[in-house]
Structure 1
Amino acid sequence: MRPEVVAFDLGHVLVGVDFAAAARQIATRSALPAEQVLRVIQDGPLLMRYESGQINRAQFFEAVRELIGYRGSQEEFGRAFTAIFTPIEPMIALHGQLRRLGVPCFVLSNTNDWAVERIRQQFPFFADFDGYVLSYQHGFMKPDPRLYAVLEGIVGRPPECILYIDDRLENVQAGAARGWQVIHHRSPDETRRQVQGHGFPV
């Protein structure tokens, strides 16, 4: 059956994400080099705690500041920390085509309030969704099935009516386990072909 709803992941699907760029900028005001800053802001447990809503923006900043010896303000850090996004234009265009077809579209993303604030400011397309399920607002992250259940509750349709696009295999598999139709995003061209294969003339 043709899906009735399309849900998009954000990072590496609609926007490119480059934490290394943030680390280089933050390192200019820190006691640690960029490589170590990157491990703290991207690979350590702090980002997971932040994006799962266990700590807030100020707590995340203070914890990072202590670990890396950051000398700037929270506002300076925030500007650098979120200067990581670039538009993936073919995917943004695909989203726009689905909207013009009248397809309800949603965002399902592991993210944080700082990132969402920056994306809202930087990318007008982000305002054109029917709803947003964002990990930090709900207390758990993909592939936790509870986050998928939140989207199902908002959509109000059977699981098989949802088409979900994500670049991480474990997240796609979690959707498929609930009966969703899924696309493991690898490239814009391949994803477009698969969306067409699901019955959408895009």
Structure 2
Amino acid sequence: MAVDAVIFDIGNVLIRWQPEIYYDATLGEDQRREMFAEVDLHGMNDLIDRGADFRETVYDCAERNPKWRAAIRDWHDRWLDLAQPEIPHSIRLKKALRDKGIPVFALTNFGIGTWAVAEPAYPFLKEFDRHYISAEMKVIKPEARIYEMVEADCGIAPERLLFTDDKADNIAAAAARGWQTHLFEGPQEWAARLVAEGLLTEEEAA
């Protein structure tokens, strides 16, 4: 089936998103494990991705967990240290697709506040034909509604969309709607998929 648009997730596809790495460096692995066991930080982040205020949500969580107050506040105050580095090969692939005139969209679980921090720091985030940001849509992956909203907005048949994401449940939800999908496990494999689909040559995908 032909591909009319390629859709990229952002976290762990274009930018590494593994907050545990930051906290391993700042707290040590044992304390990081203890904190993550006691505090649902990823659940907190889901609220932000659904549209909750970035600073207020993080700081409220910090106040509810005074033992970890300073570390939790870092989720807001040092967010760019949590969301780094960029993944250069993936960025090159995105650019190569757009250079060939292939529409490239972003579909990402991202907060309004976190996006406001990320976009100036990572200029390539501006370089999509369409952005689908969960906090603006008030729904997150893998809920079916977010995929429905993308389809309705772009007007492209589901089977002509190719979507890559690092989370299997997000991929499964897209596939259930008929999207073509690729579970992102590294840029080399994603590059090979784009070549196999005839979207890029091997040279363009290097």
Calculate the TM-score normalised by the size of structure 1: 0.85
Aligned residue for 2:163, secondary structure, equals: strand
- Aligned match of 1:67: 64
Aligned residue for 1:99, secondary structure, equals: helix
Cα 1:117–1:140 change in 2 (3 A) is same
Contact 1:26 1:81 in 2 (8 A): no
Shift of 1:79: 3.1
Shift of 1:188: 0.9
Cα 1:125–1:144 change in 2 (3 A) is same
Contact 2:54 2:76 in 1 (8 A): no
Distance in 2 separating the partners of 1:26 and 1:145 = 37
- Aligned match of 1:115: 114
In structure 1, the gaps of 5 or more residues are 28-32
Q: Deviations over 1:41-61 (max 9, x none)?
A: 634x322222122x3224302
Distance in 2 separating the partners of 1:77 and 1:199 = 40
Contact 2:55 2:76 in 1 (8 A): no
Aligned with residue 44 of structure 2, among 46, 64, 68? 46
Calculate the TM-score normalised by the size of structure 2: 0.83
Is 2:178 the counterpart of 1:200?
no
Distance in 2 separating the partners of 1:12 and 1:169 = 13
- Aligned match of 1:78: 76
| Identity fraction in percent | 24
- Aligned match of 1:19: 19
Q: Deviations over 1:66-121 (max 9, x none)?
A: 1333369x7x7623133222111110010010010011111111121232122212
Distance in 2 separating the partners of 1:192 and 1:95 = 10
Shift of 1:21: 4.7
Name the Cα RMSD after superposition. Answer: 2.5
Summarize the alignment of residues 148-159 of structure 1 with structure 2, pairs less than 5 Å apart: 148-159=147-158
Distance in 2 separating the partners of 1:123 and 1:101 = 22
Give the paired residue count.
195
Aligned residue for 1:16, secondary structure, equals: coil
- Aligned match of 2:126: 127
- Aligned match of 2:189: 190
Contact 2:166 2:185 in 1 (8 A): yes
- Aligned match of 1:30: none
Distance in 1 separating the partners of 2:75 and 2:166 = 28
